[in-house]
Amino acid sequence: MGSNTLEIRQLNTSFLTQKGEVRAVMDVSLDVPEGKITGIVGESGCGKSVTAKSVMGLVKYPGKVMSGEILLDGRDIRDIPEKEKCALRGSEVSMIFQEPMTSLNPVIRIGKQVEEALLLHKDIPKEQARIRTVEMLESVGISDAGNRMRCYPHQLSGGLRQRVMIAMAMICRPKLLIADEPTTALDVTVEAQILRLMKKLCSGGTSILLISHNLGVIAQICDYVYVMYAGRIVECADTVTLFDHPAHPYTMGLLRAATSLRQDTEILETIPGVVPNLLHLPKGCSFAPRCGSCGDRCRGEMPLMYEAGEEGHMARCFMC
């Protein structure tokens, strides 16, 4: 068995707002094994991005990582000085976001932006940085990179901009890439291309944490999946098991919704109800108010993660 590039243990991240503590991430533990693609899936607002930002040390006031461990190659990076964190970001851990325009500088040519990501972390001559930049842009599928690198972000399509982001994230060959909804703004053809590209990067040795609200995206490339609901992991399994034998009623609901979409039915099946307010979580299981198979115990007590059949398959449900 290989080792884990990233291990998150009992992570709790809150927003200390005037109305009270919003517990965005609660007791989240997860592993991203070396050279694999690990997914986090869940509806909007369930804490996926806050989890990613906690790893990157990018949670902003009034948000705060309250407790837990974040181990990169076995080393806890949670409390290292900001200067060291800056050095890690980009060189060992990189992140790509949903909307590349918010991360690309609109007034700097894209080649220069990618090149600077390299020069910031690696002590190499400019000439060589230029060559590596062209190679990197070509390897993420930007043809005619020598010319295209002179473009400004607005001169490129959304798909090309996302490729530039990936090139920027990958140029220092980080151990870990965190991709937060990297294809959500793109059409399905471009989405499939970007996902294939991530798979290729992964087979080149990068461990990937892929975050998406879309089970279809997760199904295409992830080896193992964590399902999040209202700030907690509620199920985890290898991708095939999760899709063939989901154990948590929430995962089943997500799957039904995804299937009805795929079959183009007139009525889009959704999970009834809404994600609970993280300021006023129900006592007991957070999913209980929306759950079809909820019993008395579920309303009074938060379930732990229980074994759900196969090895490595766990679900936070009394009924599984």
Residue 246 to residue 236: CA distance in whole angstroms: 9
Closer to Mg ion at the Cβ: 134 or 166? 166
Mask for 3-42, x = binds Mg ion (CB under 5 A): ----------------------------------------
DSSP letter at 255 equals H
Q: Is 47 in the site for ligand ADP (CB under 6 A)?
A: yes
Closer to ligand ADP at the Cβ: 202 or 278? 278
Q: Is 16 in the site for ligand ADP (CB under 6 A)?
A: no
CB of 227 to ligand ADP, least distance (A): 12
Q: Is 49 in the site for Mg ion (CB under 5 A)?
A: yes
- Answer for the pair 247, 320: CB distance below 8 angstroms, yes or no: yes
In what helix (H) or strand (E) does residue 87 lie, and over which residues does it extend?
helix 82-91
DSSP letter at 156 equals S
**What are the beta bridge partners of residue 178?**
95, 209
**What sign has the CA pseudo-torsion 145, 149, 154, 160?**
positive
Q: Segment contacting Mg ion (CB under 5 A): 49-57, 64-72, 113-121, 256-264?
A: 49-57
Q: Which amino acid is at 57?
A: G
Using CB under 6 A, pick the residue from 26, 32, 41, 46 that binds ligand ADP. Answer: 46
Query: Which of ligand ADP, Mg ion, none interacts with 98 (beta carbon under 5 to 8 A by kind)?
Result: none
Number of chain positions touching ligand ADP (CB under 6 A):
14
CB of 42 to ligand ADP, least distance (A): 6
Q: Considering only CA atoms, which of 278, 227, 246, 178 is closest in space to residue 43?
A: 227
- 14 Cβ partners below 8 Å, 6+ apart? 21, 22, 23, 24, 25, 63, 64, 66
Q: Is 155 in the site for ligand ADP (CB under 6 A)?
A: no
CB of 184 to Mg ion, least distance (A): 9
Using CB under 6 A, pick the residue from 9, 21, 22, 214 that binds ligand ADP. Answer: 22
Closer to Mg ion at the Cβ: 214 or 260? 214
**What sign has the CA pseudo-torsion 43, 34, 97, 52?**
positive
Residues 54-83 that bind ligand ADP (CB under 6 A): 63
Residue 193 to residue 172: CA distance in whole angstroms: 22
Residue 10 to residue 27: CA distance in whole angstroms: 4
Residue 170 to residue 186: CA distance in whole angstroms: 20
Residues 226-285 that bind ligand ADP (CB under 6 A): 278
User: In 44-60, which positions are buried (b, 16+ CB within 10 angstroms) versus exposed (e)?
Assistant: ebbbbbbbbbbbbbebe
Query: Which of Mg ion, ligand ADP, none interacts with 45 (beta carbon under 5 to 8 A by kind)?
Result: ligand ADP
Using CB under 6 A, pick the residue from 36, 48, 232, 290 that binds ligand ADP. Answer: 48
List contacts with Mg ion (CB under 5 A). 48-49
List contacts with ligand ADP (CB under 6 A). 15, 17, 22, 24, 42, 44-50, 63, 278
